[in-house]
């Protein structure tokens, strides 16, 4: 994007010079109604280092998100004193990009404003930068519960550039910029200027929802369209898009005649969110449920068993002499044994059964609608399967291993998960005391 030759009075136009005046007006209007904050600034340097910047233009969202007013024509040092001392990293990024560096996208706290910002910044011409941002403080607070797992991961909410679209509703023609197509793997020449092409690119499962959101705005039921949905990439992959738009023009009868919006590729953020959800439920080594999620699922099944008066059984299993396996063959082989136990458990039990790793070499399985005899039979089947398994070693005999299993079953409506686990744990110790590689129920018999 290049700087306009002669920006109109009051605020500069940020549209490319090559566009016709009406398209430039649409883009200016788009910025005015954009839900992201936008700031156009001139960078200043002292002894070659970024030291301050002057606001040349800000959109309404800038003021609503930051709470700052009347900033145009003022330096950041006037508006937020001390920013240079408290947030040098922010100045460094702006200064680097304003010198013609590559566009950058980042999420960081601005200490002097006591807020977290998600920012995309690029250089329209030397010593100037345009920053597009959202205040994401509330989102960062919501992520605190996952901070232990996500500390080294970073959300990237938006790409460094936006795809925008301008829909003439009366004619059905849609003008798009090249970036709109590039997000989906298409060149500008491959784009068709129709709403139908957009609909064809939207994932079939999201298409109805996306149209509904747009028509809610067109027909005046909603003020703005803001929706995350999937689109089909040219290479067959799926891209997640944040689509934001507003009706820009209506006729004398209030009928919408023009709608403009932006596309932001948020695929990376979506993948990261999915990974965080997976990590919150799954044991990192074995791929089965971790202790916390196993207990949550177990509580759900226990409630269902009480509600419908169905039987329920709990198995606890422990790998016999696991420390010796680690000491003799190394932790890598030990990890392989842990994964094998998890895999064999899932292969042996039914899809409705719940398997989890409680910690170390200890596993548990909850068997819905299963009484004590059936649970003992399932446990014995698993024990025999594991006893016959072998872990191959290069240049050495394969490693064999076994498990001891304790079984308990629900006896009364007052039973809870802790009671089932305690009884299964006692039965497990009976199995170990009886020589290991065996199954014991509550009465100590297989």
Q: pLDDT of 48-89, one tens digit each?
A: 999 999 999 999 999 999 999 899 999 999 999 888 899 999
Task: Give mean pLDDT, residues 418-422.
Answer: 93
Residue 345, pLDDT > 60, answer: yes
User: Catalytic: 301?
Assistant: no
Q: Tell me how far apart the alpha carbons of residues 422 and 426 are, in angstroms, rounded to a whole number.
A: 6
Decide the pairing of beta strands 104-110 and 403-409: unpaired
Q: Which of 365, 375, 378 is nearest to 311 (CA)?
A: 375
Residue 3, pLDDT > 50, answer: no
Specify the long-range contacts of residues 327-333, CB closer than 8 Å, at least 24 apart: 329/393, 329/399, 333/391, 333/393, 333/399
Residue 290, pLDDT > 60, answer: yes
Residue 211, pLDDT > 90, answer: yes
For residues 24-49, b (16+ Cβ closer than 10 Å) or e, as one string? Answer: bebbbbbbebbbbbbbbbbbbeeeee
Residue 150, pLDDT > 50, answer: no
Per-residue pLDDT of 393-406, as tens digits, reads 888 899 999 999 99
Give the per-residue pLDDT at 142.
78
Give the per-residue pLDDT at 423.
94
Give the per-residue pLDDT at 151.
42
Q: Which of 275, 361, 362, 377 is catalytic?
A: 361
Give the per-residue pLDDT at 24.
66
Q: For Cα atoms 253, 256, 261, give the angle at the middle one, nearest 5 degrees.
A: 160
Residue entry with tokens 């690029």: 122
Give the per-residue pLDDT at 147.
63
Task: Give mean pLDDT, residues 126-133.
Answer: 94
Give the per-residue pLDDT at 146.
62
- Please give the order of strands across the beta sheet that includes 439-440: 354-359, 362-368, 312-319, 403-409, 439-440
């Amino acid at each position: 994007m290049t700087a306009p030759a002669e920006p109109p009075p009051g605020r500069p136009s940020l549209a490319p010079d090559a566009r016709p005046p009406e398209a430039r007006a649409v883009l200016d209007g788009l910025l005015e109604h954009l839900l992201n904050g936008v700031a156009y600034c001139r960078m200043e340097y002292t002894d070659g280092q970024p030291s301050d910047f002057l606001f040349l233009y800000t959109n309404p969202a800038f003021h609503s998100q930051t709470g700052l007013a009347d900033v145009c024509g003022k330096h950041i040092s006037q508006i937020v004193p001390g920013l240079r001392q408290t947030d040098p990293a922010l100045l460094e990024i702006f200064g680097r990009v304003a010198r013609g560096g590559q566009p950058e996208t980042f999420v960081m706290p601005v200490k002097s404003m006591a807020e977290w910002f998600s920012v995309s910044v690029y250089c329209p011409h030397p010593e100037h930068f345009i920053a597009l941002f959202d205040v994401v403080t509330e989102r960062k607070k919501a992520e605190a519960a996952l901070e232990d797992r996500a500390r080294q991961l970073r959300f990237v909410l938006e790409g460094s550039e936006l795809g925008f679209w301008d829909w003439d509703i009366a004619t059905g023609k849609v003008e798009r910029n090249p970036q709109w197509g590039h997000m989906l793997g298409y060149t500008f020449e491959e784009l068709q200027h129709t709403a139908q092409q957009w609909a064809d690119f939207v994932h079939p499962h999201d298409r109805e929802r996306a149209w509904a959101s747009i028509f809610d705005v067109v027909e005046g039921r909603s003020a703005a369209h803001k929706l995350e949905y999937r689109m089909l990439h040219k290479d067959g992959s799926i891209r997640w898009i944040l689509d934001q738009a507003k009706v820009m023009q209506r006729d004398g009868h209030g009928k919408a005649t023009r709608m403009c919006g932006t596309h932001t590729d948020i695929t990376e953020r979506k993948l990261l969110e999915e990974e965080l959800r997976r990590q919150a439920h799954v044991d990192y080594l074995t791929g089965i449920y971790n202790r916390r999620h196993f207990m949550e699922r177990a509580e759900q099944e226990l409630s269902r068993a009480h509600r419908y008066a169905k039987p329920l059984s709990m198995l606890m299993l422990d790998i016999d002499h696991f420390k010796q396996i680690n000491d003799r063959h190394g932790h890598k082989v030990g990890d392989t044994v842990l994964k094998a136990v998890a895999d064999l458990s899932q292969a042996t039990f039914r899809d409705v059964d719940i398997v989890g790793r409680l910690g170390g070499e200890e596993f548990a399985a909850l068997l819905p609608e299963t009484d004590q005899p059936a649970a003992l039979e399932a446990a014995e089947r698993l024990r025999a399967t594991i006893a016959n398994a072998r872990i191959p070693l290069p240049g050495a005999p394969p490693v064999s291993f076994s498990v001891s299993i304790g079984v308990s079953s629900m006896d009364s409506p007052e039973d809870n998960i802790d009671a089932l686990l305690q009884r299964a744990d006692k039965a497990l110790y009976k199995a170990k005391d009886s020589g290991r590689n065996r199954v014991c129920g509550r009465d100590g018999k297989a």
